[in-house]
Each structure stands twice: as C-alpha cells, then as structure tokens.
Amino acid sequence: MVSCETRNKLIHQVISFCFLAILLHPTTSSDLFRVGLKKRRLELDDIRASRVIRKLKHSQHLTNYPSFATLGGDSSNQDQVILKNYLDAQYYGVIGIGTPSQEFEVIFDTGSSNLWLACYLHPKYKSTKSKTYIKNGKTCTITYGSGSISGFFSEDNVKVGDLVVKNQEFIEATREGSLTFLLAKFDGLLGLGFQEISVGNAVPVWYNMVDQGLVREKVFSFWLNRDTEAEVGGEIVFGGVDPAHFKGKHTYVPVTRKGYWQFNMGDIFVGNNSTGFCEQGCDAIMDSGTSLLAGPTTVIAQINHAIGAEGIVSAECKDVVSQYGEMIWDLLVSKVLPRQVCKELGLCVFGQETIIKTVGDKERSSVLCEVCEMAVVWVQTKLKVNETKEKVFEYVNQLCERLPSPAGESIINCNNIKNMPNVTFTIGDNPFSLSPQQYILKTGGGYAEMCISGFSAFDLPPPTGPLWIIGDVFMGAYHTVFDSGNLQIGIAEAT
C-alpha cells in the first residue's frame, strides 16, 4: 500500500513534469500565423521574367549586398499565408494594405527586404481610401542591369494572414521600365530579408512583426507544394514551424553574412561523382524569389552536361581548349596552382602588364579569361581521378557544347527524365538530393511541352559573388526554416 507521503510526492512529480512539458512546448497550432501560397503552371516567359528579377535583386547592391526574404512560421504565435505557385516557378500570396484593407498579390521573397507595389497593369494602392495612411514621400530607385524601378515611400498598416503590421514603410512604384512585362503576373514583392540590404534602410515587414510583438518566436518557415494540380500552392508560417510540413529533423547551418540569408555549402555531386567545385566550400543563399537553382557557369555546365541538358555551343570555349588546352594540362600536372594557370597563360592579366585598346578588346579578353578558368576547373576535376589526357579533353569539349544559353537556361529531352541522375548538395555535412523529377521543370503541354533544367548559370561578380542562389527547385523538395533570432537556416525533407 502506498503511503500518503509517497503518493503526494508522485503527484508533485507528475505536476512538475506537466509544467515542464508546457514550458518546453508552449505553442499550439492556433498560435501559428499562416499565409497561403498560390501557384500556376510554368511558362518559358516566366523563366525569363524570373531571371530579370534575379538580376534586379542581386545586382542592385554589389557592394551593399542585398538580401532576399523568406516566409515562415512556428507553432507558437504563428501566422500562415496560403501561397499560390505561379507557373510552378513563382509562389505568391495575398496581403492587404490600408484601412479598410486593399488586397494585392505579391511574391514573398527571401532574397530582398523591401515591400513594393507595381504601378502599371495592376490594382493601385489608393492612399486617400485608407484611414491609417501616413505620408512619407521619400523617393527611391532600385537599379538593375539595364534599367530601374522608381517610386516613393508611403506608410500604412499591412495585413499578412491574420497579422496586422502597423505603420509599415513600402514603396509605391511610379516607373517600371522594361520590367512591366514580367510584373503583369503579380502586384509586387514582399521582402523578408535583413535590413542591411533594404533600399532606403526601410524596416522590413518581418522586423516589424517581431518588434510589434505579433509573433512569439523570431522564426518563419517555408513550405512549397510542387504539385501544380493542388489547390494550395504552399504555406508560409510566421512565428515558428508546422510539423505537418516536414519529415524528420532539420539540419541547421549558421547565417554567415547578414543581408541575404547566406550560408556555407559543401561539395556538389552528380550521381556519385563530385563536381569538385565546392570541395572547399561555397557561399550560397536561400532565395524563395528565384525559380531555379542558379550558380557559376563553370559548374552549371558540368551538371547540365551530366544530365544531358543542351545549351548553345561556345566558340570561345572551344577556341581556348584548342589553343591552350595542352598548356593548361602541363601547368596543372607540374603542380601550378589552378588559380594561377590562366595568369601564366596571359589570359587573365588585367593591369599595367596588359594594354586593352578598345571596349570590344576588353570584353573579348574578359570572356577568354572566364572560359580559361572554367577549363582549368574541368581539367583539374578529371586529373584527380587519373583520366587520360585524351578522355579529359573529350570531356572538356563536350562541356563547351553544353554551356548554357546566354539567358543562362538549358533544355532537356522530356523522355530522358527517368534515366537522369540525382544531384546532391552538401549542407551542414549532410547530403540533400534532388531527383530528376524535382530539378526538371515542365512548360507548355502536348506537342508544345518543353523540359527545362532547374540549374541555371548566374555569375555574380565579387565582392558579393561568386554565389549560389538556392531557389524554389530546392525549396520545393525541402522545408526551410529561417531563424533570425539565432541567425540560422534549417532544412528538412518536405511532406
């Protein structure tokens, strides 16, 4: 028989255990704040549009270094936004601005930090209709490759899911330049990146959610549904994570530089073969606003060659291999450092030693230098596995033929998907594989169906680059957590 004293101790222990469990698991699904995402079927024009946006985002601050925002949530005090999947390429959701609320469809972008609204062909924000509008008027310009978006700042309440962010700064665009055609599919961008890359140093929406006490945890998470037939394109959860969105445990990696959600990535494998490009580590960013997975041309050409994707033949590439291939081989065999080889050949010397007479000469010299450096990486990769010289240069010439088109994309025979290899990225010392079904995007239908490689060339110059942009192709396969409180990113298999 149990004594009263013993029974009281047991009761006390049970109560203590329950209290501890509550402390350790304080959130409920009702605390989650969700934003639903919508999506539409991918079209080739949307790939091109995405490329322009990528250039806009990643080129506007080559020295300041912009950030691209993401969507998130937690089981505690979380809000979720239902997202649409825009042509299986761009995911977007609905927000409201003003009182009463005026609705806009925006891309939730982990690769930028401002909220801005387009002006042409879209519902227009009417400040005179809002009781909570505050005039700001500060002008701004977002510059990209060949043009810019101009506008001015305004302030008003912004509704995201069930959350209302008060006095949020946002940009009303007044001129979109050549971006008008691609902005026709959505009304603007909501950036969830770090303030360090915010145009005008405007406080990002996510920062205000935290500062105004709207979420309990400084965490948001992103689940993308790659099923184009599904009604729900995905969800952003603010304030934590939804366990229904992932399997197993997350692998966490630290943010290495605030601005983008930047982290360090390890080696990349095609099948069981290393590309050799990131053995010593590569900088990468998680960017929900980029449709594909973009990286330096050197390794993208290797991956696309391995999966059978076709680009445009580069005459300069074959010219360099023909003229300098033997010398590249000899220098590498004699243990000259790979980064010194093209300098030794005189192809990458831009200083007092080289006089470049015209702009055309300068562009030509730059191209030859880039091609030489790619060839060095390719040859070095094969030397490591003791390939013969003949086989090495056969391989290099094949890569020349598989260089991506000037637009950066490559196409593939849709009938070959089932025979293609997995591509694996090493993150936090763990492998994250993409199957062909996950990294190939289909556009059109019937006789017009086209399959596009999910690997796109994008060469971002120093000091920001080189940089891998890990977009929706990867994020569709892996649930992603953005933890601004602990400056880390979590990755787990998506459900």
Residues 169-202 as b or e (16 or more Cβ within 10 Å = b): bbbbbeebeebeebbebbbbbbbbbbbbbbbbeb
Adjacent-strand bridge partners of 294: 456, 469
In this structure, of 19-23, 38-42, 342-346, the range with the lowest mean pLDDT score is: 19-23
Beta-carbon count within 10 A of 85 CB: 26
100 upstream amide cis, omega within 30 of 0: yes
The structure tokens 């510059």 sit at 143
414 has pLDDT over 80: yes
CB 218 within 8 A of CB 143: no
Q: How do 90-97 and 102-109 pair as beta strands?
A: antiparallel
pLDDT for the residue 87: 43
pLDDT for the residue 65: 39
Cβ neighbours of residue 25 closer than 8 Å, sequence gap 6 or more: none
Question: What pLDDT, in 10s, does the model give residues 75-116?
Answer: 334 566 666 664 444 688 999 999 999 999 998 999 889 999
Integer CA distances (angstroms), 42 to 49, 434, 449, in order: 11, 19, 11
Q: How do 188-191 and 102-109 pair as beta strands?
A: parallel
CA distance 396 to 141: 43
Dihedral sign from CA coordinates of 284, 289, 295, 296 = negative
In this structure, of 16-25, 54-63, 211-220, 385-394, the range with the lowest mean pLDDT score is: 16-25
The two tokens of residue 312 are 């445009």
Q: Compute the 3-state secondary structure of the chain and give helix, strand, coil in percent, each to the nearest 5.
A: 30, 30, 35
Question: What pLDDT, in 10s, does the model give residues 166-208?
Answer: 999 999 998 876 554 455 578 888 999 999 999 999 999 999 9
- Catalytic positions, please? 109, 287
pLDDT for the residue 410: 79
pTM score, whole prediction = 0.75
CA distance 38 to 484: 25
- Tally: H helices and E strands in the chain: 11, 26
CA distance 112 to 289: 8
